[in-house]
Amino acid sequence: SQTHEQPSHAVKGVPEVDAVVVGAGFSGLYLLHRLRGLGLRVQVFEKGDGVGGTWFWNRYPGARVDVKSMDYSFSFDSELEQEWEWTEKYPPQEELLRYVNHVADRFDLRRDIKFNTRVTEAVFDEDVERWHVRTDQGDQLSTRYVVMATGCLSASKVPEVPGLDLFRGRWFHTGHWPKEGVDFSGQRVAVVGTGSSGVQSIPLIAEQAVELTVFQRTPNFVVPAHNHPIDPDHQRSVKAEYDRHRQANRESGFGIAVPPATKGAFEATEEERQALWERAWYDRDNSLVTFLTGFTDMITSKEANDTAAQYVRDRIAEIVEDPETAAALQPHDHPFGTKRPCLGTNYYETYNLPHVRLVNVRKTPIVEITHHGLRTTQEDFEFDDLVFATGFDAMTGALTAIDIRGRGDVALKDKWHAGPRTYLGIQVAGFPNLFTITGPGSPSVLSNMMVSIEQHVEWVTDAIAAMEAEGLATMEPTVEAEDAWTAHVDEVGHMTLYPTADSWYMGSNVPGKPRVFMPYIGGVGPYRQKCDEVAANGYEGFVRR
């Protein structure tokens, strides 16, 4: 592999590489593969003791992806995509973890990954134009490039309720589930949180537990997953034209190609609207996407959106027998889709079981955790196990957890004190040669993330290849480009209903986090086009020296 001239004033005794990649989920693995392809010396650091990121950590009962396996997989290697056989429409965590491990083995990636190692610090040394990276294991490395593949949903959040240290039972967070699994048989269990992880795990925990109490702050819209084994003929037919299929995903709005809506909700008759929502609810293939894209104005018009929201609320009232529970499960405080909508299997049905109870902590907040359970403003609860399905400090949490300092010793978390600022979600002004994969300001969590991950990894590694070819030392956005992009992300976000919800997209689940709509809703296809144009125009908006 090609070697690089060592700067004469490099820090003595500190080993040097060309690129440090933080994280060994899908993003980090693909980065390593591509950067190696450029002949660079790469060091990956991963906190966990294996590859897989999200699918390494989230081993809770029912954990599975909500995007179809044929779409939620790598497309960069045609042999890989042809040889891997998926078994289910929405594969469970175990299958995804097997897939990630297969990718790591197939491309011989492990030898450049240091596991059980958390990156704690990355400081840019302006004199030598290199990053100085440190880990919790005492590693120190000097590198030209740092790529953060730290994940948008990897910094798990346990709510700040007093008393957790007093609790005598077992407690878990869904995002840090024990490898050996948890047996809830015969246990009285409490689950706090009813987002995607809660919705997936609650029905399965209810099957084991003798008593299950679910503490809900905000009800979410849950539509049926209709998961099923993949029909082998279907798998063959997609694989036969995989290139076309993938290309359509890349050009789509959410990274999943669906026929575009042709009219607004009120250009349709009441019967047509009902028929569409009915079809979406029972659609074995695309229920969620049909809900999100059924009419052109679903995410821009509250009235249009309400027609879908009301349809789902009606289904909840139909399924859930106890009227008070049904009412508590019906979302009224946010439009459909503006918080991550959930796919469920027997979710609402679970509340009809005699040993399952829903507690609305919006009405009766949790006051404290006790030795034997927890106390709300109204009642004392006793249980053996406590499960937090309370999500993540999304999009920025894993980045601001690292002490990242750019030019002038400015800390990234200080620069972002009023919300993240990026150019294209890829780079930050004042932080040369530091790249973020699916960073804030890119479509990221509003998309089929495999499509967004591949696009970012390819764009970033192409940008690095161009720098290498041109013999450039640094690349970073101008403040003007960053300001304009950040304003654009905000403006496009505010053309939709998304900012009206208190969601993790808005940072609302983390006390004190600025309320900013972090992902870019302009669409995966148009965003890719913009990134390609920027590159074609000599990396417009970036200073390259």
Span from 58-66, 237-245, 296-304, 516-524 in contact with ligand FAD (CB under 6 A): 58-66
Q: If 0-12 CB within 10 Å is exposed, 13-18 middle and 19+ buried, where does residue 466 land? A: middle
Residues β-bridged to residue 141: 133
> Where in 146-185 is the site for ligand FAD (CB under 6 A)?
149-154
Distance of closest approach, residue 536 Cβ to ligand FAD, in angstroms? 26
Distance of closest approach, residue 271 Cβ to ligand FAD, in angstroms? 32
- Nearest-angstrom CA–CA distance, 24 and 46: 6
Span from 16-24, 177-185, 275-283, 364-372 in contact with ligand FAD (CB under 6 A): 16-24
Distance of closest approach, residue 394 Cβ to ligand FAD, in angstroms? 9
Q: Does 503 bind ligand FAD (CB under 6 A)?
A: no
Distance of closest approach, residue 299 Cβ to ligand FAD, in angstroms? 18
Distance of closest approach, residue 452 Cβ to ligand FAD, in angstroms? 8
Residues 67-106, mask of contacts with ligand FAD (x by CB under 6 A): x----x----------------------------------
**437, 481, 497, 531: which one binds ligand FAD (CB under 6 A):** 437
> Where in 393-422 is the site for ligand FAD (CB under 6 A)?
398, 402
Which tokens go with 379?
């009642």
**17, 20, 26, 213: which one binds ligand FAD (CB under 6 A):** 26
Count residues near ligand FAD (CB under 6 A): 37
Nearer to ligand FAD, 98 or 118 (CB): 118
Q: Is residue 192 within a helix (H) or strand (E), and if so which, with residue range? A: strand 188-192
- Nearest-angstrom CA–CA distance, 201 and 211: 15
Q: If 0-12 CB within 10 Å is exposed, 13-18 middle and 19+ buried, where does residue 60 land? A: buried
Nearer to ligand FAD, 201 or 433 (CB): 201
- Nearest-angstrom CA–CA distance, 145 and 122: 11
> H-type helices in 60-169, by residue range?
78-83, 93-106
DSSP character at residue 53: T
Distance of closest approach, residue 175 Cβ to ligand FAD, in angstroms? 6
Residue by residue, DSSP assigns 127-157 as TTTEEEEEETTS-EEEEEEEEE---SS-SB-
**438, 461, 486, 503: which one binds ligand FAD (CB under 6 A):** 438
Span from 22-30, 238-246, 495-503, 512-520 in contact with ligand FAD (CB under 6 A): 22-30
Cβ contacts of 450 within 8 Å, gap of 6 or more: 26, 67, 71, 72, 73, 74, 75, 255
Which tokens go with 81?
């995509």
Span from 63-71, 244-252, 327-335, 350-358 in contact with ligand FAD (CB under 6 A): 63-71
Q: Does 520 bind ligand FAD (CB under 6 A)?
A: no
Distance of closest approach, residue 257 Cβ to ligand FAD, in angstroms? 14
CA angle 459, 69, 427 (to 5 degrees): 20
Q: At what angle do helices 26-37 and 449-470 cross, to 10 degrees?
A: 30
Greatest Cα-to-Cα distance within the chain, rounded to the nearest angstrom: 74
For the chain, the distance separating the N- and C-terminal CA atoms, rounded to the nearest angstrom, is 24
Q: Does 461 bind ligand FAD (CB under 6 A)?
A: no
Residues of the shown chain interacting with ligand FAD in the complex, contacts defined by CB under 6 A? 22-28, 45-48, 53-54, 56, 58, 63, 65-67, 72, 118-119, 149-154, 196-197, 398, 402, 437-438, 448-449, 453
